[in-house]
Amino acid sequence: MQSLPGFRNFYPNDCARRNYILAQWREVARRYGFVEYDGPVLEPIELYEKKSGGELLDQLFDFKDKGGRHVAMRPEMTPTLARMVAARDKDFKKPLKWFCCPQFFRYEKQQRGRLREFYQFNADIIGESSPAADAEMIALAIDLMRELGFTEREFVVRLSSREIWLSFLIEKRGEAALDRSDLDLLLTVIDKAERQDDSVSQKQLDPLGIKLDDVRSWAADWSQRVFAADSMVASAPLARFHELLHLHLEPRGLLKYVEVDFSIVRGLAYYTGAVFEIFDRGRKERALAGGGRYDELLALMSDGKVSLPALGLGMGDVVLANLIDDTPPARTRMEAWIAQRHAADIFVVVAKEERRPDALALVQQLRNDGLRVDFSLTALKVGKQFQVADQAGASLVILVGDEWPQVKIKVLATRHEEEILHTGLADWLRNRQKGA
C-alpha cells in the first residue's frame, strides 16, 4: 500500500532534514525570548467557520466523529491560539511571546511547495499594539531565514498594511458608506491579482466602483509616500507604518531585506494591520512565510470578553526544504548539521563472543553515562563490525576480546590505538572530551 496523496513518509534522512529545519526554528525563537506551546490536532469545525475565511474552509479535512461532532484536523494555529488565550487570559502576563512547530493538514491541490500535510513554525505576540511588536516579528522572520543559510540575495520580505488599504477605500467611497464586506472584497481581489487575469480582477472590483488601474497606481504612490519626510503627519495608519520602517527596522540594519509592496494583503479574513510575506528573490517558490496583525480575533473568539492586540508569523517546511536544496550554501549548512547527528559516537566491537556479557555490561555503562553507543546484536566478524561502526558514524571503536580486562580503543579518524583497563574507560573518555 502507498501513502495517501500529499502525505509524506519520513525515512531516516528525510526525518533528519525535517528535524534540521525544526531545530533552527526552535533555536531562533528561543533567542528572541519566545516560549513553546502546542494545541490539539483535532478541533470543532466552528473554530474555523468565522475566523479563517471561505477559502480555508474548502480545504479542511473535516468529518463527523463517533460522538456525532463535526470536527476538523487543524489547518492553521491562530484560531487555536486565540481560543487558548481567551480561555486563560488572566493567567499570563502580557505581552505573550509564544511559538510552536506543529503539523497541519489542508485538502488542497498538490504542487511544488504545497502538500496536504506539512510542518509550520508559528510565532505570536499577544498584548502589544505598538509597531515595535510588528518589527520584532519581522526581525524574527528574517533571522529564521538567515539561520537556515540565506542572505538578502536569496529572499525578500514584502511588507504592506491593511489599515492603509482601508484608507484607500475611505478616500474612494467615503467612510459613511463603507461596509466591512467592501474591504474584504477589495483585499480578496488584491490578494489574487498576481495569479489571475486583469479582466477577472476588474469584474470583481466593479461592485465597488473602483478601477484596477487606480488600485495599482495608488499602491505604487503610497509605497513611495512611506519613505517621505512628512509621512508622520499624513495619517495615523501611515504614521504607524513609517514608524515600523524607520524607528524599528532601520536601526537594526534590516531594511535591506524589506520591500514595501501593497499588493501583499494576506488571504485570511482576520488580519487587521501590517502584513508581510517572504519570497525567494528568484520567485521560483511560493511564499516562504507570512504573517501580520490580527487585533480583533481574540475579542471575536471570546464574544468580547477578552480584547487584546495580537500579531503572528507562519513559516512552512515544504517550500523551505525546496529552497534549501536549490541554494548551495544553505544545503551545505544543512548537510553539515545532519552529519554531526550520526547514529552513534562509540561502537563496541565484540572481538570474541565469549566476552559478549562483558561487552554488554560496558555498553550499558556507557549509555548510562549519556553516551550514544551501538554494537552488533548478533555475532559478526570483526571486520564486518567495523563496517557497521563506520555506517553508524561512530568516531571511536572499543574492542572487547582476548585483552580483557583491558579494552582496545581505536580512533577511526586517525587510526590511533591504545589499550586501557575497562574500569578506566570513563575517565579516558572524559579527558578526551576536555581536550577536544
Question: Does residue 219 sit in the same domain as residue 353?
Answer: no
What is the average pLDDT score of the chain? 89
Q: Is residue 1 part of a domain?
A: no
Among 337, 367, 393, identify where a domain stops: 337
Give the contacts of 318 (CB within 8 A, at least 6 positions apart): 113, 114, 115, 118
Q: What pLDDT, on a 0 to 100 scale, did the predictor assign at position 163?
A: 86
The CATH number that applies at residue 373 is: 3.40.50.800
| Residue 136 forms part of a structural domain | yes
Task: Evaluate if residue 181 carries a pLDDT over 90.
Answer: no
Predicted confidence band at 279 (pLDDT cuts at 50, 70, 90)? Answer: very high
State the CATH number of the domain containing residue 132. Answer: 3.30.930.10
Domain membership of residue 5 (yes or no) is no
Q: In the predicted model, is pLDDT for residue 436 greater than 60? A: no
- Domain total in the chain: 2
What is the band of 25 on the pLDDT scale with cuts at 50, 70, 90?
A: very high
Q: Across residues 285-306, what is the average pLDDT?
A: 89
Q: Are residues 250 and 359 in the same domain?
A: no
Q: Do residues 140 and 47 both lie within one domain?
A: yes
Residues 158 and 297 in one domain: yes
Q: Are residues 279 and 415 in the same domain?
A: no
What pTM did the predictor assign?
A: 0.87
Determine the structural domain holding residue 160 and report its residue range.
12-337
Q: Say yes or no: 319 and 355 in one domain.
A: no
At residue 311, the pLDDT reads 95
| Same structural domain, 230 and 364 | no
Residue 379 shares a structural domain with residue 236 = no
Q: Looking at the domain assignment, is residue 3 inside a domain?
A: no
2 in any annotated domain: no
Residue 323 lies in a domain: yes
201 and 264: one domain? Answer: yes
Residue 287 belongs to some domain of the structure: yes
Q: Domain end: 320, 337, 354, which one?
A: 337
> What pLDDT, on a 0 to 100 scale, did the predictor assign at position 166?
81
Which is more confident, 302 or 229? 302
Amino acid 229: pLDDT: 52
Please indicate, yes or no, whether residues 329 and 355 belong to a single structural domain of this protein.
no
* Pair (120, 198) in one structural domain: yes
Q: Which of 289, 317, 337 is the last residue of a domain?
A: 337
Among 101-110, 120-129, 211-220, 328-337, name the one with the lowest average pLDDT: 211-220
**296 assigned to some structural domain:** yes
Please check whether residues 330 and 347 belong to one and the same domain.
no
Q: What is the pLDDT of residue 278?
A: 97
